[in-house]
Amino acid sequence: MLTLKQSRRLQSVVVGTLSWAVALLIFFPIFWMILTSFKTEMDAIATPPQLFFAPTLENYLHINERSDYFSFAWNSVLISFSATVLSMLIAVPAAYSMAFHESRHTKRTLLWMLSTKMLPPVGVLMPIYLLCKSMGLLDSRIALIVIYTLINLPIVVWMVYTYFKDIPVDILEAARLDGATTFQEIGRVLLPIARGGLASTMLLSLILCWNEAFWSLNLTSSAAAPLTALVASYSSPEGLFWAKLSAVSTLACAPILIFGWISQKQLVRGLSFGAVK
Protein backbone atom coordinates (compact mmCIF):
# COMPACT_ATOMS: atom_id res chain seq x y z
CA MET A 1 0.00 0.00 0.00
CA LEU A 2 1.05 3.56 -0.69
CA THR A 3 0.91 6.17 2.01
CA LEU A 4 -1.16 9.27 1.33
CA LYS A 5 2.01 11.24 0.66
CA GLN A 6 3.33 8.67 -1.82
CA SER A 7 0.07 8.46 -3.69
CA ARG A 8 -0.06 12.26 -3.91
CA ARG A 9 3.43 12.26 -5.38
CA LEU A 10 2.55 9.50 -7.83
CA GLN A 11 -0.51 11.44 -8.86
CA SER A 12 1.44 14.61 -9.53
CA VAL A 13 4.03 12.68 -11.58
CA VAL A 14 1.32 11.07 -13.71
CA VAL A 15 -0.55 14.31 -14.23
CA GLY A 16 2.69 16.15 -15.01
CA THR A 17 3.76 13.56 -17.58
CA LEU A 18 0.37 13.59 -19.26
CA SER A 19 0.23 17.36 -19.53
CA TRP A 20 3.72 17.46 -21.00
CA ALA A 21 2.72 14.82 -23.52
CA VAL A 22 -0.35 16.78 -24.59
CA ALA A 23 1.59 20.02 -24.75
CA LEU A 24 4.26 18.41 -26.93
CA LEU A 25 1.62 16.92 -29.19
CA ILE A 26 0.07 20.31 -29.73
CA PHE A 27 3.38 22.07 -30.15
CA PHE A 28 4.85 19.46 -32.51
CA PRO A 29 3.48 20.87 -35.82
CA ILE A 30 4.83 24.31 -34.94
CA PHE A 31 8.15 22.83 -33.96
CA TRP A 32 8.30 20.89 -37.23
CA MET A 33 7.38 24.01 -39.21
CA ILE A 34 10.20 25.98 -37.64
CA LEU A 35 12.59 23.06 -38.17
CA THR A 36 11.59 22.68 -41.80
CA SER A 37 12.07 26.39 -42.45
CA PHE A 38 15.82 25.87 -41.87
CA LYS A 39 16.10 22.90 -44.24
CA THR A 40 16.89 22.82 -47.93
CA GLU A 41 13.94 21.84 -50.13
CA MET A 42 15.60 18.39 -50.59
CA ASP A 43 15.89 17.82 -46.84
CA ALA A 44 12.35 19.01 -46.35
CA ILE A 45 10.77 16.31 -48.49
CA ALA A 46 13.23 13.52 -47.56
CA THR A 47 11.77 10.22 -46.40
CA PRO A 48 12.18 9.27 -43.65
CA PRO A 49 11.84 12.81 -42.22
CA GLN A 50 15.12 14.19 -41.00
CA LEU A 51 15.55 15.46 -37.48
CA PHE A 52 19.24 16.24 -37.95
CA PHE A 53 20.43 18.20 -40.97
CA ALA A 54 22.69 21.08 -41.95
CA PRO A 55 20.63 24.20 -41.21
CA THR A 56 20.43 26.93 -43.82
CA LEU A 57 18.97 30.43 -44.05
CA GLU A 58 18.44 30.25 -47.80
CA ASN A 59 14.62 30.10 -47.49
CA TYR A 60 14.49 33.31 -45.48
CA LEU A 61 16.85 35.03 -47.91
CA HIS A 62 14.69 33.91 -50.80
CA ILE A 63 11.53 35.32 -49.18
CA ASN A 64 13.28 38.56 -48.42
CA GLU A 65 14.21 38.89 -52.11
CA ARG A 66 10.89 37.86 -53.54
CA SER A 67 8.43 39.76 -51.38
CA ASP A 68 8.24 42.78 -49.12
CA TYR A 69 7.66 41.07 -45.79
CA PHE A 70 7.40 44.31 -43.81
CA SER A 71 4.65 45.75 -45.94
CA PHE A 72 2.53 42.65 -45.28
CA ALA A 73 3.43 42.65 -41.60
CA TRP A 74 2.56 46.34 -41.31
CA ASN A 75 -0.84 45.66 -42.85
CA SER A 76 -1.43 42.83 -40.37
CA VAL A 77 -0.49 45.03 -37.44
CA LEU A 78 -2.55 47.97 -38.60
CA ILE A 79 -5.64 45.94 -39.43
CA SER A 80 -5.56 43.75 -36.30
CA PHE A 81 -5.00 46.60 -33.87
CA SER A 82 -7.54 48.92 -35.49
CA ALA A 83 -10.20 46.22 -35.62
CA THR A 84 -9.50 45.29 -32.00
CA VAL A 85 -9.70 48.86 -30.75
CA LEU A 86 -12.84 49.47 -32.76
CA SER A 87 -14.59 46.36 -31.46
CA MET A 88 -13.65 47.24 -27.88
CA LEU A 89 -15.12 50.70 -28.36
CA ILE A 90 -18.40 49.13 -29.37
CA ALA A 91 -18.29 46.15 -27.00
CA VAL A 92 -17.63 48.01 -23.73
CA PRO A 93 -20.78 50.16 -23.79
CA ALA A 94 -22.81 47.23 -25.14
CA ALA A 95 -21.60 44.86 -22.44
CA TYR A 96 -22.01 47.54 -19.77
CA SER A 97 -25.65 48.02 -20.58
CA MET A 98 -26.32 44.30 -20.82
CA ALA A 99 -24.48 43.43 -17.61
CA PHE A 100 -25.68 46.26 -15.39
CA HIS A 101 -28.93 47.48 -16.90
CA GLU A 102 -30.45 44.18 -17.86
CA SER A 103 -33.77 44.23 -19.69
CA ARG A 104 -36.17 41.53 -20.75
CA HIS A 105 -34.38 41.29 -24.08
CA THR A 106 -30.80 41.04 -22.86
CA LYS A 107 -30.48 37.26 -22.80
CA ARG A 108 -32.08 36.95 -26.22
CA THR A 109 -29.86 39.65 -27.69
CA LEU A 110 -26.77 37.86 -26.43
CA LEU A 111 -27.85 34.56 -27.97
CA TRP A 112 -28.84 36.22 -31.21
CA MET A 113 -25.44 37.88 -31.47
CA LEU A 114 -23.71 34.57 -31.03
CA SER A 115 -25.98 32.90 -33.55
CA THR A 116 -24.61 35.20 -36.27
CA LYS A 117 -21.33 33.31 -35.86
CA MET A 118 -23.03 30.12 -37.02
CA LEU A 119 -23.44 31.35 -40.58
CA PRO A 120 -20.47 30.21 -42.69
CA PRO A 121 -18.61 33.29 -43.99
CA VAL A 122 -18.68 31.97 -47.52
CA GLY A 123 -22.44 32.37 -47.41
CA VAL A 124 -22.08 36.14 -47.46
CA LEU A 125 -18.99 36.30 -49.65
CA MET A 126 -20.87 37.43 -52.72
CA PRO A 127 -22.81 40.34 -51.22
CA ILE A 128 -19.84 41.57 -49.26
CA TYR A 129 -17.52 41.30 -52.25
CA LEU A 130 -19.96 43.26 -54.38
CA LEU A 131 -20.48 45.85 -51.65
CA CYS A 132 -16.76 46.38 -51.34
CA LYS A 133 -16.37 46.54 -55.08
CA SER A 134 -19.07 49.15 -55.61
CA MET A 135 -17.73 51.23 -52.72
CA GLY A 136 -14.23 51.01 -54.12
CA LEU A 137 -13.01 49.20 -51.03
CA LEU A 138 -11.43 46.16 -52.68
CA ASP A 139 -7.85 45.72 -51.54
CA SER A 140 -8.29 48.39 -48.86
CA ARG A 141 -7.44 48.14 -45.17
CA ILE A 142 -10.67 49.91 -44.24
CA ALA A 143 -12.78 47.07 -45.61
CA LEU A 144 -10.84 44.47 -43.63
CA ILE A 145 -10.89 46.55 -40.45
CA VAL A 146 -14.66 46.95 -40.64
CA ILE A 147 -15.24 43.29 -41.47
CA TYR A 148 -12.89 41.99 -38.75
CA THR A 149 -14.50 44.30 -36.22
CA LEU A 150 -17.92 43.00 -37.06
CA ILE A 151 -17.11 39.30 -37.25
CA ASN A 152 -15.32 39.35 -33.90
CA LEU A 153 -17.81 41.62 -32.18
CA PRO A 154 -20.13 38.86 -30.88
CA ILE A 155 -17.26 37.04 -29.19
CA VAL A 156 -15.74 40.24 -27.87
CA VAL A 157 -19.06 41.44 -26.45
CA TRP A 158 -19.63 38.05 -24.85
CA MET A 159 -16.22 38.00 -23.22
CA VAL A 160 -16.45 41.56 -21.93
CA TYR A 161 -19.98 40.83 -20.73
CA THR A 162 -18.85 37.82 -18.68
CA TYR A 163 -15.99 39.80 -17.14
CA PHE A 164 -18.36 42.64 -16.26
CA LYS A 165 -20.85 40.17 -14.78
CA ASP A 166 -18.21 39.13 -12.24
CA ILE A 167 -18.02 42.66 -10.86
CA PRO A 168 -20.49 43.31 -8.03
CA VAL A 169 -22.94 45.97 -9.13
CA ASP A 170 -22.68 47.48 -5.62
CA ILE A 171 -19.34 48.98 -6.54
CA LEU A 172 -20.82 50.83 -9.50
CA GLU A 173 -23.79 51.92 -7.42
CA ALA A 174 -21.41 53.24 -4.79
CA ALA A 175 -19.71 55.28 -7.52
CA ARG A 176 -23.08 56.56 -8.69
CA LEU A 177 -23.92 57.70 -5.16
CA ASP A 178 -20.46 59.24 -4.89
CA GLY A 179 -21.47 61.52 -7.74
CA ALA A 180 -19.99 59.76 -10.76
CA THR A 181 -21.59 60.29 -14.16
CA THR A 182 -22.08 57.22 -16.32
CA PHE A 183 -18.83 57.97 -18.16
CA GLN A 184 -16.92 58.40 -14.91
CA GLU A 185 -18.51 55.25 -13.52
CA ILE A 186 -17.26 53.29 -16.53
CA GLY A 187 -13.94 55.05 -17.01
CA ARG A 188 -12.78 55.44 -13.43
CA VAL A 189 -14.31 52.40 -11.75
CA LEU A 190 -15.50 49.69 -14.14
CA LEU A 191 -12.67 49.64 -16.70
CA PRO A 192 -9.81 49.73 -14.16
CA ILE A 193 -11.40 46.85 -12.24
CA ALA A 194 -12.00 44.82 -15.41
CA ARG A 195 -8.67 45.62 -17.03
CA GLY A 196 -7.31 42.08 -16.76
CA GLY A 197 -10.32 40.67 -18.54
CA LEU A 198 -10.31 43.45 -21.10
CA ALA A 199 -6.65 42.77 -21.87
CA SER A 200 -7.24 39.09 -22.49
CA THR A 201 -10.24 39.92 -24.67
CA MET A 202 -8.09 42.27 -26.71
CA LEU A 203 -5.37 39.66 -27.06
CA LEU A 204 -7.88 37.12 -28.31
CA SER A 205 -9.31 39.61 -30.77
CA LEU A 206 -5.79 40.44 -32.01
CA ILE A 207 -5.00 36.76 -32.56
CA LEU A 208 -8.27 36.14 -34.38
CA CYS A 209 -7.69 39.13 -36.67
CA TRP A 210 -4.06 38.20 -37.24
CA ASN A 211 -4.93 34.69 -38.32
CA GLU A 212 -8.02 35.48 -40.36
CA ALA A 213 -7.49 34.25 -43.92
CA PHE A 214 -10.83 33.92 -45.65
CA TRP A 215 -11.67 37.61 -46.05
CA SER A 216 -8.12 38.79 -46.46
CA LEU A 217 -7.57 36.36 -49.35
CA ASN A 218 -10.82 37.25 -51.05
CA LEU A 219 -10.81 41.00 -50.63
CA THR A 220 -7.15 41.99 -50.92
CA SER A 221 -4.44 41.47 -53.47
CA SER A 222 -1.37 43.53 -52.64
CA ALA A 223 -1.76 47.02 -51.17
CA ALA A 224 -3.82 45.96 -48.16
CA ALA A 225 -2.76 42.30 -48.01
CA PRO A 226 -1.80 41.05 -44.54
CA LEU A 227 0.55 38.20 -43.67
CA THR A 228 -2.04 35.50 -44.23
CA ALA A 229 -2.16 36.55 -47.87
CA LEU A 230 1.62 36.39 -48.04
CA VAL A 231 1.59 32.81 -46.75
CA ALA A 232 -1.06 31.85 -49.25
CA SER A 233 0.92 33.31 -52.10
CA TYR A 234 3.66 30.77 -51.38
CA SER A 235 1.40 27.77 -51.46
CA SER A 236 -0.20 27.51 -54.84
CA PRO A 237 1.14 28.53 -58.22
CA GLU A 238 4.64 27.06 -58.55
CA GLY A 239 3.82 23.80 -56.79
CA LEU A 240 4.65 23.12 -53.17
CA PHE A 241 7.95 24.24 -51.73
CA TRP A 242 7.74 22.96 -48.17
CA ALA A 243 10.80 24.69 -46.81
CA LYS A 244 9.89 28.12 -48.18
CA LEU A 245 6.29 27.71 -47.09
CA SER A 246 7.49 26.82 -43.60
CA ALA A 247 9.77 29.81 -43.51
CA VAL A 248 7.08 32.26 -44.56
CA SER A 249 4.62 30.70 -42.10
CA THR A 250 7.17 31.03 -39.34
CA LEU A 251 7.61 34.67 -40.24
CA ALA A 252 3.84 35.19 -40.23
CA CYS A 253 3.33 33.60 -36.81
CA ALA A 254 6.37 35.08 -35.13
CA PRO A 255 5.13 38.59 -34.32
CA ILE A 256 1.88 37.52 -32.68
CA LEU A 257 3.60 34.65 -30.85
CA ILE A 258 6.18 37.03 -29.44
CA PHE A 259 3.51 39.57 -28.59
CA GLY A 260 1.44 36.91 -26.81
CA TRP A 261 4.50 35.72 -24.95
CA ILE A 262 5.33 39.19 -23.70
CA SER A 263 1.79 40.12 -22.72
CA GLN A 264 1.25 36.78 -20.98
CA LYS A 265 2.95 38.01 -17.81
CA GLN A 266 0.95 41.22 -17.90
CA LEU A 267 -2.23 39.26 -18.46
CA VAL A 268 -1.75 36.93 -15.53
CA ARG A 269 -1.00 39.87 -13.28
CA GLY A 270 -3.95 41.82 -14.66
CA LEU A 271 -6.31 38.93 -14.16
CA SER A 272 -5.39 38.33 -10.54
CA PHE A 273 -5.40 42.07 -9.88
CA GLY A 274 -8.95 42.21 -11.11
CA ALA A 275 -10.10 39.97 -8.26
CA VAL A 276 -12.64 42.00 -6.39
CA LYS A 277 -13.05 40.37 -3.03
Partner 1 sequence: MADLSIRNLQKGFDGHAIIQGIDLDVRDREFVVFVGPSGCGKSTLLRLIAGLEEVTSGTISLDGKDITDLAPAKRDLAMVFQTYALYPHMTVRKNLSFALDLARVDKATVKAKVDNAARILELERLLERKPKQLSGGQRQRVAIGRAIVRNPKIFLFDEPLSNLDAALRVQTRLELARLHKELKATMIYVTHDQVEAMTLADKVVVLNGGRVEQVGSPLDLYNHPANLFVAGFLGTPKMGFLRGTVGAVDGSSCEVQLEAGAKLTLPRQACGQKAGASVTLGVRPEHFNIVPAGEGQLQVVADVSERLGSDTYCHVRTANGEQLTIRVRGDFGPAYGQPLELAFDTAHCHLFDAAGVAIDKRSAAEQAA
> What is the contact surface with partner 1 in residues (CB under 8 A)?
168, 170-171, 173-181, 184, 188-189, 192-193, 273, 275-276
Query: Is the CB of 117 or the CB of 195 nearer to partner 1?
Result: 195
Query: Is the CB of 28 or the CB of 273 nearer to partner 1?
Result: 273
In the complex, the smallest distance separating the C-beta of residue 184 from partner 1, rounded to whole angstroms, is: 6
Query: Is the CB of 62 or the CB of 176 nearer to partner 1?
Result: 176
- Other Cβ atoms closer than 10 A to 84: 25
What is 36-92 written as a DSSP string? HHTS-HHHHH-SSPPSS-----HHHHHHHHHS-HHHHHHHHHHHHHHHHHHHHHHHH
In the complex, the smallest distance separating the C-beta of residue 101 from partner 1, rounded to whole angstroms, is: 11
Query: Is the CB of 66 or the CB of 107 nearer to partner 1?
Result: 107
Is the omega angle on the peptide bond into residue 192 within 30 degrees of 0, that is, cis?
Answer: no
In the complex, the smallest distance separating the C-beta of residue 268 from partner 1, rounded to whole angstroms, is: 17
Euclidean distance between CA atoms 14 and 142, whole angstroms: 51
Query: Is the CB of 8 or the CB of 188 nearer to partner 1?
Result: 188
What does each C-alpha distance from 110 to 101, 107, 144, 202 come to in angstroms? 14, 5, 24, 19
In the complex, the smallest distance separating the C-beta of residue 186 from partner 1, rounded to whole angstroms, is: 13
Task: Evaluate whether 36 touches 44 at the Cβ level (below 8 Å).
Answer: yes
To the nearest 10 degrees (0 to 180), the angle between helices 195-211 and 69-100 is: 140
In the complex, the smallest distance separating the C-beta of residue 173 from partner 1, rounded to whole angstroms, is: 5
